[in-house]
Amino acid sequence: MYERVEELIDSNETARLLGVTVNWVRDHTTRRQPIVPHVKMGRKIRFERVELMRFIRECRESRPKWERNDVIA
Cα separation, 36 vs 58, in Å, equals 11
Instruction: Quote the pLDDT of residue 1.
Output: 59
Q: What is the pTM of this model?
A: 0.73
Cα separation, 63 vs 65, in Å, equals 6
Instruction: Quote the pLDDT of residue 7.
Output: 82
State the DSSP code for 6.
Answer: P
The stretches in the chain having pLDDT less than 50 are: 71-73
